[in-house]
Amino acid sequence: MSSAGKPLRTIDLKFMYGEISALFLPKFNFLGSGEKKDMADSQKRAIVFFAWGEKYISEVLNCIKVSHMPDYDKILITDQVSEVPKCELKVIRANFQINSLLRKTELIDFLPDNYNSYLFLDSDTIVISDIEMGFAKAELYGIAASPAPHYSLNHFWGFEKIMELEGVSCSSQLQYNTGVIFFSINVKKVLEVFRLWKELGIKYQNIFENDQPFFSLSMELLNFNPYTLSINYNYRGLGNLISGDVKIWHSHTEMPKNINQFDVAWPARRVVDGKVIFSEDNNMTQSQPKHKIKNILKRILNQPISE
């Protein structure tokens, strides 16, 4: 019991060498408690997963196994009953309120606050190459995320009804994908964004069961401007054009092994049904001499290319 006579929430944590049941561990406070602590040990980064059930926990473990991840703490927030094999994950067992896809909006209630920034990843992701810029931009701007493939917020499967109820104009605002989110709770308004995300999800859970548009709507309502990452940080494999290196693959479709194999970045390539497709001009540039490449680029850009 607390000094005020109210019961404290018990959080179960399973670490690599066993399980710990505690009220509030020193250096592992939780944002959902409404309390803040001295963040002297906060100059750290963490990668966070939110999954339950054998299928999705297996996907998380596979993501960690095959990804090229930085050496940061990896946290799994799961339910009270899912089995998690012993591994490097720090496991937080949560008592969720929501049973639908909107459960992701509860992330902020169970997130430990002793990190400077976080990367939230869906279970069907693979980190392919360096993602440090995502953390850096989150620490500077608060949130860094990529646009969703279906990026018009009010056109997202009838979401304009929710926007109208909230008094927000339907102006094709940008919708961000919530499968990859870099964020820092140290930046003003970020906690407000995440808490409003949950409030909106609960408020309209009987009307709309997808968490994603509520995240963008919460930022719209709070006039919060995140840093917009390129889709390379959250590539869905749905035919979107790729310029440069894909950083994070996000799809249940198997990632093509040659996804980042190219000689020139433009004309762009794309992935459809798990296969990399090069444009006709791009295929030519992979094998043509240097002067022919310049001629192709000159034709595309309609301007001279210097020697």
Tens place of pLDDT per residue across the chain (307 aa): 444 444 434 344 443 333 433 333 334 455 654 444 443 344 599 999 999 999 999 999 999 999 999 999 999 999 999 999 999 999 999 999 998 889 999 999 999 999 999 999 999 999 999 999 999 999 999 999 999 999 999 999 999 999 999 999 999 999 999 999 999 999 889 999 999 999 999 999 999 999 999 999 999 999 999 999 999 999 999 999 999 999 999 999 999 999 999 999 999 999 999 999 998 755 544 545 555 566 666 666 776 555 5
Q: In the chain, how long is the greatest CA-to-CA distance?
A: 79
Written as six digits, the tokens of 176 are 């961000």
Residue 125: CA count within 13 A, CB half-sphere: 27
For each of the domains in the chain, give its residue range(s) and CATH number, in order of start.
11-229 (3.90.550), 242-301 (no CATH)
Cis previous bond, 7, omega within 30: no
Written as six digits, the tokens of 247 are 């950083």
Residue 117 pairs in a beta bridge with: 45
pTM: 0.81
* Per-residue model confidence as pLDDT tens digits over 112-148: 999 999 999 999 999 999 999 999 999 999 999 999 9
Instruction: Please give the Cα distance from 144 to 37 (Å, whole number).
Output: 25
* Per-residue model confidence as pLDDT tens digits over 162-185: 999 999 999 999 999 999 999 999
